[in-house]
Amino acid sequence: MMLAAAILTALWLVVTHVPVPGAQSNLNPWYFTAKEIQIAYRYQHNFGKGLNQPLKASSCLFGAAYFGAEIYGEKHRLPCRFIKQTLRHLKEILQAGAARYFFPLDLNHAHLAIPRSSWRENYESLPSSQILPAMLNDPKLVALYHSAEHLKTVDSKNSEITPAVRQWRNKRNILGFYDGRPIKILPPHPEGAGVSVPANYWGYCGFEFLATHKSNLPIILEKSSVAVDIKLDLGGDGLSGPTGSTTASP
């Protein structure tokens, strides 16, 4: 019964995207065991609702260099390199064991950032509708990912809290580069929190992604595959340091 109740809570959280109160603890109902997250993901993947108005970028997988998208009411041609590099990030994150599932209880968002010197020189004077398109074309762009968002790693009564689960949590802060460099697993926060973008970067907006059985952007692994949809998030500030819990080093 307790497992069933936890899974129902997890599913409700996935659907409603309710903000999580307080810190992780045995008594916090917003954190779940690895097993509960796995079951919730299976339901979300097979039956859950997908992202609302995701990017239509499937042509990027067939040789296109750009795809169309609307930002603040203006139409733009965005680079397929952004899509391909993001899919590379997600593949490397799975391979590194830094995340297991692309949905809200584990990993479903990233914060975008650009070097502060480049921001001052090239971006801060641009109209709002032009900033993000320009950033997505910039190879100096980085994405900060936070995984294990609702993973419970402190539970004295649950044998699932294994070294692998703790490692999953410890690898939850990941930096992805759009110049082709491999992802970088950042040092864990002492309290398990998400970290901010590096201090020499300026955060601006971000993006969401979600894996469902109807998603259109595949990630091919050695023994399996998963597909995601991606949606730009124009409302966030990218966690510009030092607004997050700590500041990461690049």
> Does a structural domain hold residue 246?
no
Please compute the mean of the pLDDT values over residues 74-91 and round it to a whole number. 97
SS3 126: coil
Of the pLDDT bands very low, low, confident and very high (cuts 50, 70, 90), residue 24 is: very low
For residue 180, the enclosing domain spans 2-233
> Does a structural domain hold residue 119?
yes
> Does a structural domain hold residue 243?
no
Q: How far apart are the first and last CA of the chain?
A: 45
Please compute the mean of the pLDDT values over residues 156-175 and round it to a whole number. 77
pLDDT one-digit tens code per residue, 93-113: 999 999 999 999 999 999 999
Contacts (Cβ under 8 Å, ≥6 apart) of 113: 141, 142, 143, 144, 197, 198, 201, 202, 203, 204, 238, 239, 240
Number of domains the chain contains: 1
Cα gap 156→19, rounded to integer Å: 26
Residue with tokens 């992604």: 209
> Does a structural domain hold residue 241?
no
pTM here is 0.83
Percent of the chain with pLDDT over 70: 79
pLDDT one-digit tens code per residue, 38-61: 999 999 999 999 999 999 999 999
Cα gap 114→197, rounded to integer Å: 9
